[in-house]
Structure 1
Amino acid sequence: MKPLTINEINQIVHGEFIEGPVNWQVSHAILYGLHRLKWSHTLIFSERNINWHNLKNFQPCAVVTDLPADQIVPIEGITFIKVNHVMESYWKFVQYYRSLFDIPVIAVTGTCGKTTIKEMIKHILRVDRIVQATDGNWNLPVWSFGYLQNIDESTQAAVFETAITHPGHLTRHCRYLEPTIGVFTNIGIDHLDTCGSLEGYIQAKAELVKGLRKNGTLILNGDDENIKKIALDEFKGRVVYYSVSSSSPFQATEIHYAEMGMTFVLNHQGRQYHAFVPGYGDHQVYNALGAISACYELGVGVETSIKRLSTFKNFTRHLELMSGLNDCTILDDTWNTNPTSLNSALQVLHSIGKGKKNVALLGDMMALGEFADEVHRQVAELIIETKLDVLITIGEKAREIGKEAIRLNFGGKVYMYDDSFEGVREMLEELLDQNTILLIKGSLYNPHFSNFAQGLRSNKN
């Protein structure tokens, strides 16, 4: 965070000094109750009574409060600033701090691919500029205030994932970050438990359109049917599309699987660029297109982005290929699971598993609410289409996939387990061999899946 003096803080929040020293600078800021107090020199916005004595461990710090003066406990080294409404003062501070930096800020949203596109953009830009970005996939609004504070005078660009679990989350992200560019990856079925329906989820994602800074730029997946449902009538900025199956300013053609990645031809402004992106699947080509499109808006040429992207390293557990039990091949995709990412994973398994025995071990998909059973049953159609040899389900909801596959006359073997992995390894020891590819697809909220995948790795990796 760019340091600010206590006098500057007081002017920003339109406050009144009540108590404490004023000759020091603030280096951190938190909303008490939402963020943890971890450092001295912290500005604390508090709507409630604080553990006053705990503040002694973090002096100097400053408390912005709207409590009556007689409820404030004077503490040595603690500055108190009285305001009329804490939350109004908090957002004044947020707005002021963001206004200090005239830099491009990219917000990435969608059902799948947020982390990958964000990492690709960061990978491309960090060659020659200082970039702030989301840490891993810590991408909910609660962390956006911290990411905003990571921006300082040295920052030249920023790229953040903007995820949601509830309607209103993207609006909150944007209130902190004021993105100048918004990237949509895709919109599939997810968070139906809190958004109520697919339409509600689409509208929750569409909040990014209104949240962009005036005259901002939207970068959209032109092939995604649900993104097409987002109303753009009132959007006054630029709209840029990327695509595979339809014509767009950034269109990929001639897509092929290659060693450890995908090759494609990028068609842009009448020119063709031959490209390679590490990581398997058509979805990875879409990720590359989204990243290249965003970086182009920041002045990075297409050829330069393609060259830099060729050295990109995927996150672990994103269709991570490794040697496994009995010399089989494992596709570890235990980062997260929903119908969109599961479809992509099954397509990759089908493509690289030609001539081999294809096995999929699938877990429950989360955040589907009352639609959970129906959505899991729908997944069985994907199983039929990709012609698996063996389907293994683990979990009560995932069992619906297995039951529906059997009802649809799935030609392969089906094994269904409850929430335990008990007996699964023993079954796999009989099933797996060097001519087998095993896809393991589970949720990051169920660490048993990633632990199980790691336990199947061979020493060759």
Structure 2
Amino acid sequence: MEQAGKAVGAIWNDTRQSMEQPSPGEGLTTKFITLGQLLNIVDGTLIRGKKDLLLSSANYGKPKYLRAEHLYFFSIKKSRTDQLNAIRRVGPRAVVIPSSVSALSVPLSTAVISVREPYVAFWRLAMWNWKQAAVKVVGITGSAGKSTTTEMVSAILSQKKPIVKTMGNLNTFTYLPSYLTRLSPRHEYLVLEMGMKSLNNIARQCRIVRPDIGVVTNVGEAHVGSLGNLDTIVRAKQELIDGMNPKGILWLNADNERSRKLSTRNFSGKVYTFGIKNIADIRAKDIEQRTNGLVFTACFDGKSVPFFIPAIGRHNVYNALAAIGVARSLGIPIEQIRKGLAVFRPPRMRMQLVKGSRNRWLINDAWNANPSAMVAGLKSFREWEAKRPHVAVLGDMLELGHLTRSAHQQVGWIAAHLPLTQLITVGKYARLIAQSAIKKGMDPKKVFHYHSIAPLLRHLKQLPDNAVIYFKASRKMHLEKVIRKLKKG
């Protein structure tokens, strides 16, 4: 990583403000950049403003979260009206606008720089700031579990030092500059969830950040529809390994069959494994699902260490093992790891517990779906609060391409052998889950299918008091809307 000995300082985009919900007290930098320095970095034309004006936080194309202290980069892909209205209302310290937008549209109190393309200018600022950074980079990818693993790693590392991490599902190359601009001298770690919508997305990220620590949580069916086949998914995850710091440390899932197709032949760093079933460098045993979370023992370095994570599902133990591996690779003490995992908060809509009306529990696992993740979720939810009635609500799994039919059938076959009170499906493809479950011997009186949300909701409202209801489907099915209708209060 390139260092800058006489850097003026750092400027970063407060992503929590500009992309997610605003968080009071965040975004306060210890150093600044001047308007004149910014002008040189982005290769723009100064329309208005004093070159010694100090700037400390940036916002790219998010007018909803615009603040008076922000440097705002105009997005040509967003509504011009929304952005100009926000700029007039808030009056930020400075704006970077394309030549197609008149400076007369901007309040006179706001400094203005004109460029050909603000997104390119934002990237230039990001790369400038990245060259000032001295952080360890953790890159996490996988077909399932990468968001949870990212949150676990972040919970551990942020116990002692401030970090910058991926927010929500903003995990592709497009959003990378938002994290690079957030880095300041006080940060020690950059934790990036590396998603991909196509080949070369992870590779493009790695060409810039070169992760020091890499994790592939698993290789599964997610995005097979857009990538074509499972071999292409392996190639996409391989991009992380090929793009890492050659002296870095890589963590792989010892129990995931497709992860064995990943090649480490050309990786000169160290390779370690985590797992439950197979021999691994970090291995879990004595796993127990409790009402408030999971307890397990992790065996590594000749030690057996007890851990607790406030999460549902045996599959989350894999995520925790990966997080432990990352932390150990960074020299984090065991007690800090234990504390971080114990206070970690599961990402929204990933096995998220929601209190429903009439003493019901709703398990919101509806962020996205592929057959491996759906099966893991089904098995996990059935183990939680085992004495209650258990109802599974499963919707369409999208982006599976030629695997669509077989994937839904596979889920139905497994659901048929679980002790479910009811199996409810919704959507065009999910009908195959219901049909396959019945063919495999599930009582037809326990299986229901709906084409739309309204009749599904009416059915769910008639379920027994104290039921546990599990929701899983692809994001476009919007099962979270059903969950909101069933929430307590």
Q: TM-score range by the shorter chain?
A: 0.7 to 0.9
Contact 1:98 1:178 in 2 (8 A): no
Instruction: Report the equivalent of 2:204.
Output: 172
Per-residue Cα deviation, 1:266-294 (whole angstroms, up to 9, x for no partner): 11111111222211221111111111111
Matched, 1:135 2:167: yes
TM-score normalised over the length of structure 2: 0.79
Q: Take 1:427 and 1:72, find their aligned partners in 2: how far apart are those partners?
A: 53
Deviates more, 1:219-228 or 1:300-309: 300-309
Secondary structure at the counterpart of residue 240 of structure 1: strand
**Take 1:353 and 1:41, find their aligned partners in 2: how far apart are those partners?**
48
Residue 220 (structure 1) aligned with residue 248 (structure 2): no
Check 1:73–1:274 CA distance in 2 against 1; reply closer, same or farther (3 A cut).
Answer: closer
Task: Report whether the alignment pairs 1:144 with 2:176.
Answer: yes
Change (3 A) 1:11 1:216: farther
Matched residue, 2:18: none
Distance 1:45 1:423 in 2: 44
Question: Residue type of the partner of 1:450?
Answer: E
Distance 1:207 1:432, change over 3 A: same
Q: Secondary structure at the match of 1:207?
A: helix
Alignment of 1:363 with 2:395, yes or no, is yes
Distance of aligned partners of 1:244 and 1:17 in 2 relative to their CA distance in 1, 3 Å threshold? same
In 2, Cα distance between equivalents of 1:318 and 1:46 = 31
Residue number in structure 2 paired with 1:268 = 300
Residue 470 of structure 2, aligned match among 432, 439, 444 = 439
Aligned ranges for residues 21-420 of structure 1 at < 5 Å? 22-24=51-53, 27=56, 35=61, 42=71, 60-61=94-95, 78-79=112-113, 94-352=126-384, 354-411=386-443, 413-418=446-451, 420=452
Contact 2:217–2:253 (CA under 8 A) maintained in structure 1: yes
Report the AA paired with residue 411 of structure 2.
Answer: V
Q: 1:309 to 1:89 in 2, by over 3 A?
A: closer
Partner-residue secondary structure (3-state), 1:150: coil
User: How far apart, in 2, do the equivalents of 1:183 and 1:10 lie?
Assistant: 38
- CA gap of 1:93–1:314, structure 2 versus 1, over 3 A, is closer
Contact 2:133 / 2:184 at 8 angstroms: preserved in 1? yes
Is the 2:72–2:92 contact (alpha carbons within 8 Å) kept by the matching residues of 1? no
Change in 2 beyond 3 A, CA 1:99/1:178: farther
Partner of 1:451: 481
Contact 2:426 2:450 in 1 (8 A): yes
Shift of 1:145: 0.9
Instruction: Show structure 2 runs of 5+ residues with no match.
Output: 1-9, 12-31
Q: Distance in 2 between matches of 1:41 and 1:316?
A: 28
Contact 1:22 1:79 in 2 (8 A): no
Alpha-carbon distance between aligned partners in 1 of 2:269 and 2:154, rounded to the nearest angstrom: 23
Distance 2:219 2:284 in 1: 20
Q: Which runs of 5+ in 1 are unaligned?
A: none
Structure-1 separation of matches of 2:191 and 2:201 = 17
Q: CA deviation at 1:17?
A: 6.9
Are residues 80 and 337 of structure 1, via their aligned partners in 2, closer, same or farther at CA, if it must alter by over 3 Å?
closer
Q: Name the CA shift for 1:329/1:36 in 2 (closer, same or farther; >3 Å).
A: closer
User: 1:353-386, CA deviations, whole angstroms, 9 ceiling, x for partnerless residues?
Assistant: 5444432111111222343233212221221232
Once residues 179 and 243 of structure 2 are traced to their aligned partners in structure 1, the CA distance between those partners, rounded to angstroms, is: 17
* Native 8 Å contact 1:132 1:155 kept in 2: yes
Query: Structure 2 CA distance, aligned partners of 1:278 and 1:18?
Result: 52
User: Could you report, residue by residue, the CA deviation over 1:142-200 in whole angstroms, capped at 9, with x for unpaired residues?
Assistant: 22211111111111212121112222221233345432222221221111222111111
State whether residues 355 and 488 of structure 2, in contact with CA within 8 Å, keep that contact through their aligned partners in structure 1: yes
Distance 1:357 1:86 in 2: 55
Give the partner amino acid of 1:453. Answer: I
Q: Which amino acid is 1:375 matched to?
A: A
- Tell me how far 1:78 sits from its aligned partner: 4.2
Aligned partner of residue 362 in structure 1, secondary structure: strand
Output the CA distance in 1 between the equivalents of 2:414 and 2:193.
Answer: 29
Question: C-alpha offsets along residues 90-126 of structure 1, whole Å, 9 cap, x if unaligned?
Answer: 8665444322112112122112222221111221122
| TM-score, scaled relative to structure 1 | 0.83
Amino acid at match of 2:147: T
Q: What code does the residue aligned with 1:156 have?
A: E
Letter in 1 for 2:476: Y
**In 2, Cα distance between the equivalents of 1:86 and 1:112?**
34
Q: CA deviation at 1:141?
A: 2.4
Query: In the alignment, residue 418 of structure 2 is paired with which amino acid?
Result: T
Q: 1:167 to 1:106 in 2, by over 3 A?
A: same
Moved more, 36-45 or 312-321: 36-45
Cα distance, 1:59 vs. partner? 7.3
Aligned-pair CA distance for 1:348: 1.2
Counterpart CA distance in 2 for 1:213 and 1:91 is 22
Match of 2:19 in 1: none
**Alpha-carbon displacement from aligned partner over 1:53-109 (angstroms, at most 9, x marks no partner):** 96997774557x9x9xxx999989545679xx9999886654443221121121221
Are the counterparts in 1 of residues 196 and 202 from structure 2 also a CA contact under 8 Å? yes
CA distance in 2, matches of 1:326, 1:90: 50
Q: What is the count of residue pairs matched by the alignment?
A: 444
What whole-Å deviation, never above 9, does each CA across 1:186-229 have from its counterpart, x for those lacking one?
22111122211111122112211122234222122221112211
